[in-house]
Amino acid sequence: MYRGVKILHDPVRNKGTAYTEAERDYLSLRGLLPPRVHSPAEQELRVLNNVREKPTDLERYLYLISLQDRNETLFYRVIMNHIEEMMPIIYTPTVGKACQEFQHIFRQPRGFYVSLQDKGHIREIMQNWPHKDAKIIVITDGERILGLGDLGADGMGIPIGKLALYTACAGIHPTHCMPVMLDVGTNNETLLNDPLYNGLERKRERGEQYDELVDEFITAANEVFPGVLIQLEDFGNINAFRLLEQYRDQVCLFDDDIQGTGAVAVAGIIAALRITGGKLEDQKLLFLGAGEAGIGIADVFVAALGEQGIPADEARKLCWFVDTKGLLVSSRDNLPDHKVPYAHDHEFVDNFLDAVKMLKPTAILGLSGQPQTFTKEIVEAMAEINKRPLISALSNPTSKAECTAEQAYKWSKGRAIFASGSPFDPVKYGNRTFVPGQGNNAYIFPGVGLGAIVSRSRVVTDDMFLAAAHSLANLVTEDDLERGRVYPPLSSIRKVSAHIAYDVANIVYDRGYTDKERPEDVMADIREYMYKPIYPHYA
């Protein structure tokens, strides 16, 4: 048991001014704290006042991260009780700015760094991690951070933020979470020329050395933390697809940018059909961007149609892509493997507007990382083709969105069903106020992870993400739809995560992916595991 100043410096055990009189005696804290004992509610009020007085979201982010570094229980109490206000600060869009400034705003280390210098010794250094019961690792190599590109070691803000959401949204205990940065260099010249950059000062490693480092890490992680769930995050296209395919059947692993994004976007499409009255098999999707997120959405969409008996080859013909070179068609040469299944026989066009007019999609989905690419002409064309066009501007952060919510509603004369990756404020158009739906992966990955962890699954499968998509869509209420929102409010996200975890866990038990015996009450087992930010008693 820590005592005295040592416990005050332990973020897991620290209660700050909330230590009772008896605890102060028992833990030798007399004289080390102001005399008044504050309730957790009073501490929360102080935090809220400080956060709201900060002049910028980045300053708010820094304040909250500092709180996380000194008192995790209070940090999560504030986040959980004010999730709609706090999520845009601790995650997208603010986390993008934090990663861009990471080397300049660095306060103290958080998370675990593995670099090329550690090759051959990863298992040994993983013993340095202070918590011996890690159940989930979020790892990035920093090559494709949100829509911001290669940020190298400064991408550590993403695993930290994702795991904060695992705790806040799904109740994974903070000590079970391990953020990891795999530092293999960066091709970002600005960072390499910055004397304050924290990562390796070298170009990004490719090929055999890279693969050996990844393999050593995954092997070491499963030896040190048997059965740990590994989430791949913000890897570049060159690595993301192949790493997922290589390891998905060997260990408990998934890629959120591919599978999580796929599930949340398809959930939005399914929910939107309750507004349009259409059928899933009658939809035609046109994507701007053919990377991990776009292909992931198409794959989940194809799987959803497969449930209805539609063969994959036929379902893929309902998914079309425009990348940096134009429409993805079979006549194009040298296509990457992940694009080939969606390269159809069709006339080539080199711009998105012509593709919209030619293909007449029911939905357009932006995952390009290029802002303002859903122009007025494109949205108007979609409104001419469809009574209620689905416009999904999913690139993060907000500055990278293909269009704003206001633009989508205004240009479509209030007929668009709009979803975005980062949050937008409600929009008044005519006599209606629309509440844009945020297709945030936080609706999906925490629940999938929770279900896999509680059931002790050996793998994470595509059908778990499809089940998550259906579960999320089913939780959208008629009131949500009336407001134009195809996702539940963020305030209900712990409920959403619990329901998704329940569906995932049942798949695990039904298909024998675990050695754990199915509990009599699966939901009760899940809820019992979920962390609550309540201070322990020490006396």
Q: Which residues are catalytic?
A: 91, 162
Beta bridge partner(s), residue 242: none
The residues near 436 (Cβ < 8 Å, ≥ 6 apart) are 405, 418, 419, 420, 423, 424, 425, 426, 427, 484, 485
The residue ranges of DSSP E strands in 204-313, in sequence order, are 229-232, 253-255, 285-288
CA neighbor of 501 nearest in space, from 462, 475, 468: 468
CA neighbor of 144 nearest in space, from 186, 113, 195, 178: 186
Distance CA 517, CA 36 (A): 49
String of DSSP letters for 332-357 = -SS--TTTGGG-BSS---SSHHHHHH
Structure-block tokens of residue 433: 């106020």
Helix, strand or coil, per DSSP, at residue 149 = coil
Distance CA 209, CA 191 (A): 22
CA neighbor of 495 nearest in space, from 487, 484, 485: 487
Buried b (16+ CB within 10 A) or exposed e, 490-516: bebbbebbbbbbbbbbbbbbeeebbee
Beta strand 390-393 with 417-420 is: parallel
Structure-block tokens of residue 432: 């209606």
**What does DSSP assign to residue 329?**
B
Task: Give the CA radius of gyration of the chain.
Answer: 23
Distance CA 401, CA 366 (A): 8
Beta bridge partner(s), residue 155: none
Helix, strand or coil, per DSSP, at residue 170 = helix
Q: Phi/psi of residue 197, each to 5°?
A: -60, 135
Report whether 343 contacts 328 (CB < 8 A): yes
- Specify the amino acid at residue 424: F
Distance CA 256, CA 442 (A): 10
Structure-block tokens of residue 305: 């149609």
Buried b (16+ CB within 10 A) or exposed e, 140-152: bbbbbbbbbebbb
Report whether 233 contacts 253 (CB < 8 A): no
